[in-house]
């Protein structure tokens, strides 16, 4: 473990597990932090001094002055959102010069991607996915149709404008003829992006080369996942998923490294479950307990402000997501949100039709009726605990049960949104 140089950190539920907070904490131990997929659909919250950031594009390690942050080739980038984020960092006097880079192969989100995302969601009516309307799906579609525009294309105005012209003709046709929407102006988009080209010109790199070189130099590198495993395009609750691969498998292509260069993995899970957007969610609570989780956990989206759906911890679900990622260690977050509950429940299995099963099956998610184990609450604050031993006995029992049912060890425990409200297990060697 001591020789490890890279750690991939990713979500094990439906996103918003608290990845941003854990990455900000871990950034102190890493030289480089690189996002490998997703785009401004992510909202990674970090509290720091009097500031509160919701990072959509910028890797969550940027607050550590020594950490280099990279937006990898597997990401999609909205330069407008990124520019706003950089302005917030400047206001907070965070210097990101020579510390933030974008892979030339990362695809750009253009205004027509957002317009199409919006139009398609509207057209789907009650069957909508509940996307963030950030243009994610349409942008990845263009990437895979091999007509996407990449960050590197901005290096030559003519190349960019030519690609824009070709794409916009098709997109405006779709917007007008299929969706009865207004066309977008080529001139306006062209002007906007030529300005971005100038603003971002010093941030372009070959991310794969940068990371492989850093690895060979013995630097410590953290790969930052966005979203969560159940939103993965292949492994998630399709079609209610995003358009990228937040799983460990996504790291290699999203960064441009080989699998032998992922030395260690950690999965982030909340001490309960949430989901934002549509789609099945077996342990969801529709009663006052669900509302209490939402209130105690301030469960409102960092990107769209939407209320997050809440339910109890689903152990077979996390066992499944940990397994398909090859994860053996957890960062469990938001334990403190359960401080006031008299009883706490863990989903331990399901009924599927008339049969009982202990295993999660992603194909059947919508038909699984959860079975719960009732556990005693601790009804006192865990927010100031400094070690696992400081925790009340029922809380330790709850954590033991989670470890047993998920086949994972809890290496990091988060008991508040602040950086220092973090407990590290002696077995976590980073």
Query: Which chain residues interact with ligand IMO by CB under 6 A?
Result: 11, 14-16, 41-44, 129-132, 134, 136-137, 226-228, 231, 240, 242-243, 276-277, 302
Active site residue 179: no
Taking the least distance from each CB to ligand GDP, the nearer of 38 and 135 is 38
Strands, sheet with 409-414, edge to edge from the N-terminal-most edge strand: 204-205, 100-103, 68-71, 32-35, 221-224, 6-11, 264-270, 329-333, 409-414, 422-424
**Buried/exposed 367-399: b ≥16 CB within 10 Å, e otherwise:** ebebbbeebebbeeebeebeeeeebbebbeebb
Q: 75, 38 in Cβ contact below 8 A?
A: yes
Does residue 402 belong to the site contacting ligand GDP (CB under 6 A)?
A: no
**Beta carbons within 8 Å of 302's beta carbon, 6+ residues apart:** 16, 43, 44, 45, 54
Does residue 321 belong to the site contacting ligand GDP (CB under 6 A)?
A: no
Counting residues that bind Mg ion (by CB under 5 A) gives 3
Residue 74's binding partner out of ligand GDP, Mg ion, ligand IMO, none, with CB under 5 to 8 Å set by partner kind: none
Q: What is the DSSP letter of 300?
A: B
Active site residue 44: yes
Residue 119's binding partner out of ligand GDP, ligand IMO, Mg ion, none, with CB under 5 to 8 Å set by partner kind: none
Taking the least distance from each CB to ligand IMO, the nearer of 37 and 167 is 37
Taking the least distance from each CB to ligand GDP, the nearer of 172 and 333 is 333
Q: Please give the span between the terminal C-alpha atoms of the chain, in angstroms, as a whole number.
A: 8
Taking the least distance from each CB to ligand GDP, the nearer of 47 and 430 is 47
> Exactly one of 24, 44, 103, 264 is catalytic; which is it?
44
Taking the least distance from each CB to ligand GDP, the nearer of 17 and 31 is 17
Does residue 224 belong to the site contacting Mg ion (CB under 5 A)?
A: no
CA dist 26 → 33, 67, 223 (Å): 10, 11, 11
Sign of the torsion formed by the C-alpha atoms of 327, 328, 333 and 337: positive
Q: Spell out, one character per residue from 2 to 41, where the chain touches ligand GDP: x when CB under 6 A holds, - when not.
A: ---------x---xxxxxxx--------------------
The footprint of ligand GDP on residues 109-138 (CB under 6 A) is none
User: Which of 361, 338, 341 has the alpha carbon at shortest distance from 349?
Assistant: 361
Report the Cα 76 to chain-centroid distance in Å. Answer: 13
Q: 164, 190 in Cβ contact below 8 A?
A: yes
Among 12, 16, 99, 416, binds Mg ion (CB under 5 A): 16
Q: What is the DSSP letter of 1?
A: -
Tell me which stretch binds Mg ion (CB under 5 A): 130-138, 257-265, 294-302, 409-417.
294-302
Q: Spell out, one character per residue from 45 to 64, where the chain touches ligand GDP: x when CB under 6 A holds, - when not.
A: x-x-----------------
User: To the nearest whole angstrom, how small is the minimum distance from the Cβ of residue 214 to ligand GDP?
Assistant: 24
Taking the least distance from each CB to ligand GDP, the nearer of 142 and 417 is 417
Q: Measured between alpha carbons, how far is 95 from 108 in angstroms, rounded to an integer?
A: 24
Residues taking part in catalysis:
16, 44
Task: Please report, as ranges, the residues that interact with Mg ion according to CB under 5 A.
Answer: 16, 43, 302
Task: Please report, as ranges, the residues that interact with ligand GDP according to CB under 6 A.
Answer: 11, 15-21, 43-45, 47, 298, 302, 333-334, 336-337, 414-417
């Amino acid at each position: 473990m001591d020789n490890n140089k890279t750690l991939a950190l990713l979500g094990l539920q439906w996103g918003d597990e608290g990845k941003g907070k854990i990455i900000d904490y871990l950034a102190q131990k890493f030289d480089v932090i690189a996002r490998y997929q997703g785009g401004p659909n992510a909202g990674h919250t970090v509290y720091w001094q009097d500031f509160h950031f919701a990072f959509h594009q910028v890797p969550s390690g940027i607050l550590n002055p020594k950490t280099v942050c990279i937006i990898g080739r597997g990401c999609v980038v909205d330069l407008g959102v990124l520019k706003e984020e950089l302005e917030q960092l400047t206001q907070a006097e965070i210097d990101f010069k020579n510390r933030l880079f974008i892979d030339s192969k990362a695809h750009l989100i253009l205004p027509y991607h957002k317009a199409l995302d919006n139009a398609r969601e509207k057209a789907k009516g009650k069957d909508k996915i509940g996307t963030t309307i950030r243009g994610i799906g349409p942008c990845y579609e263009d990437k895979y149709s091999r007509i996407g525009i990449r960050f590197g294309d901005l290096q030559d105005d003519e190349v960019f404008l030519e690609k824009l012209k070709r794409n916009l003709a098709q997109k405006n046709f779709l917007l007008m003829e299929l969706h009865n929407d207004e066309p977008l102006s080529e001139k306006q988009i062209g002007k906007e992006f030529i300005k971005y080209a100038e603003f971002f010109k010093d941030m372009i790199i070959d991310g794969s080369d940068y990371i492989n070189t850093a690895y060979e130099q013995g630097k410590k590198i953290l790969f930052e996942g966005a979203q969560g495993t159940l939103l993965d395009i292949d492994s998630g609750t399709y079609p209610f998923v995003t358009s990228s691969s937040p799983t460990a498998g996504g790291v290699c292509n999203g960064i441009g490294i080989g699998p032998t260069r992922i030395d260690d993995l950690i999965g982030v899970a909340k001490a309960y479950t949430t989901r934002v957007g549509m789609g099945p969610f077996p342990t969801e609570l529709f009663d006052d307990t669900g509302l209490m989780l939402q209130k105690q956990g301030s469960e409102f989206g960092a990107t769209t402000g939407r209320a997050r759906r809440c339910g109890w911890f689903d152990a077979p679900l996390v066992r499944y997501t940990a397994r398909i990622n090859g994860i053996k260690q957890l960062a469990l977050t938001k334990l403190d949100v359960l401080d006031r509950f008299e009883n706490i429940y863990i989903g331990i299995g399901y009924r599927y039709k008339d049969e009982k099963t202990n295993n999660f099956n992603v194909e059947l998610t919508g038909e699984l009726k959860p079975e719960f184990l009732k556990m005693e609450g601790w009804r006192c604050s865990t927010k100031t605990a400094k070690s696992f031993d400081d925790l009340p006995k029922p809380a330790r029992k709850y954590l033991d049960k989670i470890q047993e049912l998920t086949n994972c060890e809890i290496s990091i425990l988060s008991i508040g949104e602040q950086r220092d409200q973090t407990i590290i297990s002696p077995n976590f060697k980073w």
